[in-house]
A = this chain, B = another copy of it.
Amino acid sequence: MAPITNGRTLFNEIPSGFPEPGKTTVYDTSKTIDLENVPLNGGVLVKTLVLSADPYMRVQMREADIESYMPPFIVGQPLGVGKILRSERDGFKPGGYVYGLLDHAEYSLPSPDVPVFGIRVFNPEPGLQYSAYVGAGGMPGQTSYYGWKEYANAKAGETVFVSGGAGPVGSLVIQLAKQDGLKVIASAGSDEKVQFCKDVGADVVFNYKTTSTLDILRQEGPLNIYWDNVGGTTLDAAIENAANHARFLECGAISQYNSKDGVNMKNLDQIYARRITLYGFLISDLAPKWEEEFYKVIPKKLASGEFKFREDITTGLENSGQAIRDVQIGANTGKKVIVVAQE
């Protein structure tokens, strides 16, 4: 078979604000790949089926010499699901499925030692689409599950506030919290997202763009647990309404990723006064403890419908730049996935 085009989305330029397709990212078809003969060097050749667009990507769009918890996003290595076409690696059989950091391309050759998330073989749960494995069944779902299990110390009857409740992390947190018998307050940025939070079981849901977060928390608090996906003034409002001994799970700060301005915090002194513990965490630290349990428990619940999730599908790798932007500006209506190819 002759070499074929290997379409790629390349990272082109560091954005100063929100990423822009065609400028921050460009779609490129200049490279080809010979699927039968490309050397594997002990690794695998993977056909990309689904890629994921996630909020954390903005953190990677920076100068390479600025340190962070993720390596800089040089050419783009999103999380994705692929099918193994050829393999020289133990445990990776042709025809099997992998989840992990792939190239931002139609075909990739993930190195045996991909950093941070690595790559793992999984057996798809019958009835569960592959795309679920980059969402509720992948990194976002793992974030919810690992964080909740490790730090929430949830007790039935307590109150939790989940910001970004309609996202793939938040919506699973809502469901884990309801399973544990908590009262769940959730915020989201559109009426449609508010409805989704209600659909997955949140007790009190509000649109933070049209309703005062402070007013709601003053009415519905105090908070025993705050799952923070957004940072900024919402964190300040949560501190103001924290119960004594509250646990704050610091999972993300999307309100701050696209701005260099700081945020005015009025209530930081309440951290000690109310004996709040704030846990900053990343799933890479927690995976050794919780990963196997996650794969045993969560895909089954997603396949059966016991746990709900919602996807917002972009079709075609050439549209991934727009998908990345949509996640940053909050224009997606569910876990953003890019369907690159069918099997």
Contact = CB atoms under 8 A, between A and B. Distances in A.
Contact of A282 (B250, B263, B275, B279): B275
A264 interface: yes
A253 B250 CA distance: 21
A266 B262 CA distance: 4
Contact of A231 (B232, B251, B268): B268
A277 B277 contact: yes
Contact of A262 (B257, B264, B271, B285): B264
Contacts of A264: 262-265
Contacts of A69: 244, 273-275
A309 to B, nearest CB: 22
Interface in A204-263: 231-232, 235-236, 244-245, 250-253, 256-257, 260-263
Chain A, interface size category, equals 35 or more
A65 interface: no
A290 interface: no
- State how many copies of this chain the complex holds: 2
Nearest to A267: B262
Contacts of A277: 277-280
Contacts of A282: 272-273, 275
Contacts of A235: 268
B266 A265 contact: no
A67 B282 CA distance: 34
A275 B280 contact: yes
A68 interface: yes
10 contacts: A232-B268, A236-B262, A245-B285, A251-B272, A263-B265, A263-B266, A271-B278, A272-B282, A276-B280, A277-B280
Q: State the 9 A-B residue pairs at the shortest beta-carbon distance, nearest first.
A: A253-B269, A262-B266, A271-B280, A272-B280, A278-B278, A262-B264, A250-B272, A276-B280, A250-B271
Interface of A: 59, 68-69, 231-232, 235-236, 244-245, 250-253, 256-257, 260-266, 268-282, 285
